[in-house]
Amino acid sequence: MFDFINQYLANPIVVVVVLVAGFVLLVKGADWLVDGASAVAKRFGISDLVIGLTVVAFGTSMPEFVVNMVSVADGATDLAITNILGSNIINTFVILGLTALVYPVRSQKRSRDFDIPMSIIAAVLVFATVSVNPPAIETEHGISRYGGIILLLMFTYFLFNTFRHAKDHPADAVVDETKKSMSVGKAVSLIVVGLIGLVVGGELIVKSSVNIATRLGIPEAIIGLTIVALGTSLPELATSVVAAFKKNCDIALGNVIGSNIFNVFFVLGTSSVIRPLPSYDGVSFDAWIAALGSILVWLFVKTNKEREVKRWGGAILIVVYAIYLTYRLMNI
């Protein structure tokens, strides 16, 4: 799709412009889609609880999902895995780290007891699926369709448990009153424009990222772990840091961890079912780093009576990410 763009990517300045334009379209497209879909759902009498658990939750993972779908379609499978692992690593170490530096991040009991352990399991499952492939199933290591099915089954369990918890604890639901007054015409328009923005933005990001990797002789995996992963995590970064400045980041940890779970179980699971994703150099290390981030956050909130990620915890997360990134760039 949009192969005509390649002829304009000979100029490095154009490549950067295309990449930035792709991220803008991707982020705004996801925002418009969520706003429009939430308004339509509200018009049909769907509860705020269900909207939050489905439309909004899926919407926060839309940037990663679209980039993965485009990557799989274009055969840039290294971007598909590294986009997810990189996004999860940035979500935990950078976004939660920066948020906690601004203001301590409080945790909810649900996050401590279920979501954070599930995010650890998600990272471990990525390691397992790329490291343990019976020869009878796949000839090379990577996430096979069978591995993708396992991830989707885990996603189904996560959704079931989340809905059951929400039903038993309705007070945990966050009501967004802004979606009630939107007209159906405006809502449908936002959905259409949002979908177009997502598709075009994802295509621009993948094509420009592959071009950058080829031009600089850098593996696609590194581009996926850094530039693409950071770009697709921009919505979470902006939302969490702004909430921290307003001292209103009670749900920041739950949102970030929930996004990590969606990314692995839903996005990576769907991607690998469509097309098996081959492994890349360093994938096991990246998966363990993703798991380490969730383990550190779990330890932080379990070892103080306020059940918070303190400022010192945020500093540790940032330092660990800096060490990890330096190591990965030095071992290209």
pLDDT per position as a tens digit, 136-184: 444 456 788 889 999 999 999 998 988 887 777 665 555 445 445 678 7
Name the CA radius of gyration of the chain, rounded.
19
| pLDDT of 238 above 80 | no
Query: Which domains can be identified in the chain, with CATH numbers?
Result: 3-330 (1.20.1420.30)
- pLDDT at site 139: 42
- pLDDT at site 237: 77
Q: Find how far residue 240's CA is from the centre of its chain.
A: 14
Average pLDDT value for the chain: 82
What residues have CB less than 8 Å from 109, skipping those under 6 apart?
none
Question: pLDDT tens for residues 204-216?
Answer: 888 888 788 878 8
∠ CA(174), CA(176), CA(182), 5° rounding? 160
Q: Nearest to residue 253, comparing CAs of 186, 310, 206, 203?
A: 310
Q: Is 303 helix (H, G, I), strand (E, B) or coil?
A: coil
- pLDDT at site 137: 46
CA distance 252 to 96: 8
Q: How far apart are the first and last CA of the chain?
A: 30
- pLDDT at site 179: 47
Q: Nearest to residue 80, comparing CAs of 12, 142, 11?
A: 142
Q: What percent of the chain has pLDDT over 70?
A: 85
Q: Which residue has the tokens 């424009």?
A: 193
Q: Which residues pair with 278 in a beta bridge?
A: 142
Is the pLDDT higher at 71 or at 122?
122
- pLDDT at site 224: 84
- pLDDT at site 1: 53
Q: Which of 238-242, 283-287, 325-329 has the lowest mean pLDDT?
A: 238-242
- pLDDT at site 9: 67
- pLDDT at site 123: 92
Q: Where are the extended beta strands (E) located within the chain? A: 105-106, 142-143, 277-278, 308-309
Question: pLDDT tens for residues 59-104?
Answer: 777 888 888 888 888 777 778 888 899 999 999 999 999 999 988 9
**Cα atoms found within 13 Å of the Cα of residue 326, Cβ hemisphere only:** 6
CA distance 35 to 98: 27
Q: Which residues pair with 105 in a beta bridge?
A: 309
Give the C-alpha distances (Å, rounded to integers) separating 290 from 71, 93, 101, 222, 271. Answer: 21, 9, 20, 15, 19
- pLDDT at site 324: 95
- Which two three-digit tokens encode residue 11? 């100029």
Contact present, 221 and 281 (Cβ < 8 Å): yes
- pLDDT at site 48: 60
| pLDDT of 132 above 70 | no
Is the pLDDT higher at 139 or at 23?
23
CA distance 96 to 241: 9
Query: Stretch 249-263: mean pLDDT, rounded?
Result: 80
Pick from 27-31, 77-81, 113-117, 172-176 the range whose average pLDDT is largest: 113-117
Query: Stretch 300-305: mean pLDDT, rounded?
Result: 91
Query: Stretch 7-31: mean pLDDT, rounded?
Result: 80
Q: Which of 69-78, 193-202, 204-213, 244-253 has the lowest mean pLDDT?
A: 244-253
Q: DSSP letters of 110-125?
A: HIIIIIHHHHHHHHHH
CA distance 68 to 62: 10
- pLDDT at site 155: 94
Q: Which pTM was predicted?
A: 0.82
What are the backbone angles phi and psi of residue 75, rounded to the nearest 5°?
80, 10
CA distance 134 to 140: 9
